[in-house]
Amino acid sequence: MKLLSAILISTSLCACIPAQAANESSLPRSAPEAQGISSAALITLAEEASQPIYGMNSLMIVRHGQVVAEGWWAPYAASEPHVLFSLSKSFTSTAIGIAAAEGKLSIDDPVLKYFPEDAPEQPSKNLKEMRISDLLKMSTGQHSEDIDKVNYFGPEPATKQFLALPVVHKPGTLFVYNTPASYMLSAIVQKATGQSTLDYLQPRLFAPLGIEKPVWDASPQGVSLGGFGLNLRTEDIAMFGQLLLQQGEWQGKRILPAAWVELATSRQASNGSNPDSDWDQGYGFQFWRCRNGAFRGDGAFGQYCIVMPQCDTVIAITSGTKDMGAVLNLLWKRFLPELRPAALPADETSAGALKQKLAELALPPVKGAATSPIAASVSGKTFRFPENPDHIEAITVNFDSGGMKSVVRIAGKDYSVSSGMGVWNKTGELPSDTGPTPIAASGAWTSDDTYTARFCMYRTPFVLNVSLRFADGKLFLEQARNVSFGAAQDLKITGKAD
């Protein structure tokens, strides 16, 4: 490790590389055939990827540095950022690599070096031996049941909570997935550089790649959350993957040391032995190893930056799936076999069909009638609900042939939303697991007494399916989420009209 640290520190890096113009930093586009992929194969991939099991929000495929396919399932869009969840970890690792190259820290440093004020009065031997490298490869010696107790948003700093946890095993000997360890890495970047991880990476990574206005949620202490909380566009994810594929070089300039890219994306810890699982191929420094010689950063519900060095290919995906493995299996089954070592003959007909297919991608809007015999009688009424887990207090509904306009009162705050008839209508916002977020809504009358609405939080993977049944002066509301942390809890509540 010391030799590798020396290599990183000796690598010349410009601490502040000026941003390129946006049109220079975006990835170039190419016909798939020119990069050795048939458009027909990509049409098949897009069609299968649209099945509900994959919950696709966006897909971008880069071959030989050229974007050959890109699509967003409306209401998701190219211009919109998307929450990355644990894919954020790979960016935190990158910040550590840059800080090491600048001589701000060494991955051999003890963790306690940076937090003397948060250390226990009598640190254990194992805690004293825990190093930055152990945080990076999630081999801190701690147990999951202890790790899960860390609260990033409580009054006590998460760094102090982390250091108070039992370190049962010698650091470096046991892999346990550890998001608080990623937070500690971000806190170390801030301690070593005097800047949050977001601010530190701005001139060193985000600006050179042309990533505009990245948002990274922070703890009450102002520490970028490290293990989650970063929000980027799909192309931003793809550019990050392309940078890694190019061993840290971008447009002729070195952004990351090649030695760090090799170190961070190689197997640093064993995490299983199942040859058919992409979660058993080894773990790097906040990167996962994959089957087929690939590596990736990933986040909950299917946020992916997949790098395939042997195929000179990068794939960026955002999605809302309960089966993250299914997404990777789809790529290995339908995409990987279609990669050819040389260009294919031009196929303008298929390329045009692919472009049209990708432009028409959409989550299915609600299908049904534009109105109902009872629409006029319930329109304008306010229905109030008893206490419930989602804190929905009241709903005022108004219907016309264009859809439903409603005001929903949640936890003391009013949210105005409007659903389109057979289309997605971007309007208003609703609270989510990541805070208030913009929504798109679609709805229709699915029976004479029931209006069904679908609310897509299009900067997140979350979609709410809501049934509103009106009967006897009451509103029977049923709500189901497509994905959620922990056990999904569907909601069934009954409101009474004023």
DSSP 385-405: ----TT-EEEEEEEEETTEEE
Residue 427 has pLDDT above 90, yes or no: no
Tell me the percentage of the chain whose pLDDT exceeds 90.
91
How does strand 450-456 pair with strand 474-481?
unpaired
**Rounded to whole angstroms, how far apart are CA atoms 279 and 110?**
28
The whole-number pLDDT of residue 4 equals: 40
Q: Taking Cα atoms as reference points, which of 377, 367, 424 lies closest to residue 397? A: 377
The whole-number pLDDT of residue 3 equals: 34
Q: Check residue 379 and report its DSSP letter.
A: T
Range 221-249 average pLDDT: 98
**Rounded to whole angstroms, how far apart are CA atoms 297 and 349?**
35
The whole-number pLDDT of residue 329 equals: 98
Range 406-426 average pLDDT: 94
Joined together, the tokens standing for residue 378 give 């319930």
Residue 93 has pLDDT above 70, yes or no: yes
The whole-number pLDDT of residue 246 equals: 98
Residue 15 has pLDDT above 60, yes or no: no
Q: In angstroms, what CA-CA distances link 441 with 151, 423, 429, 455?
A: 33, 8, 10, 5
- φ, ψ of residue 67 to 5 degrees: the values are -75, 120
- Beta-carbon contacts of 164 under 8 Å, excluding residues fewer than 6 positions away, are 120
Buried/exposed code over 222-249 (b: 16+ C-beta within 10 A; e: otherwise): ebbbbbbbbbbbbbbbbbbbbbbbbbbe
The whole-number pLDDT of residue 487 equals: 67
**Please, what is the end-to-end C-alpha distance for the chain in angstroms?**
69
Please check whether residue 430 is in contact with residue 439, taking contact to mean a CB–CB distance below 8 angstroms: yes
3-state helix, strand, coil in the chain (%, to 5): 30, 25, 40
CA 230 to chain CA mean position, Å: 8
The whole-number pLDDT of residue 422 equals: 86
Q: Taking Cα atoms as reference points, which of 421, 461, 422, 454 lies closest to residue 440? A: 454
Q: Taking Cα atoms as reference points, which of 32, 46, 85, 45 lies closest to residue 305? A: 85
Residue 496 has pLDDT above 50, yes or no: yes
Joined together, the tokens standing for residue 51 give 């099945």
Q: Taking Cα atoms as reference points, which of 371, 365, 409, 414 lies closest to residue 390? A: 409
The whole-number pLDDT of residue 294 equals: 98
Ranges 1-15, 369-383, 414-428: which has the least confidence: 1-15
The model's pLDDT over 350-384, given as tens digits with 9 standing for 90+, comes to 999 999 999 999 999 999 999 999 999 999 999 99
The model's pLDDT over 48-62, given as tens digits with 9 standing for 90+, comes to 999 999 999 999 999
Q: In angstroms, what CA-CA distances link 209 with 238, 306, 314, 453?
A: 10, 17, 15, 39
The whole-number pLDDT of residue 11 equals: 39
Whether omega for the bond prior to residue 32 falls within 30 degrees of 0, making it cis, is: no
The whole-number pLDDT of residue 25 equals: 56
Please check whether residue 277 is in contact with residue 288, taking contact to mean a CB–CB distance below 8 angstroms: no
Residue 488 pLDDT grade (very low, low, confident, very high; cuts 50, 70, 90) = low
**Rounded to whole angstroms, how far apart are CA atoms 43 and 318?**
18
- φ, ψ of residue 335 to 5 degrees: the values are -100, -50
The model's pLDDT over 249-292, given as tens digits with 9 standing for 90+, comes to 999 999 999 999 999 999 999 999 999 999 999 999 999 999 99
**Rounded to whole angstroms, how far apart are CA atoms 243 and 258?**
10
Residue 194 has pLDDT above 90, yes or no: yes
Please check whether residue 468 is in contact with residue 445, taking contact to mean a CB–CB distance below 8 angstroms: no
**Rounded to whole angstroms, how far apart are CA atoms 229 and 348?**
41
**For the whole model, what pTM was predicted?**
0.94
Residue 1 has pLDDT above 50, yes or no: no
Averaged confidence pLDDT in the chain: 94
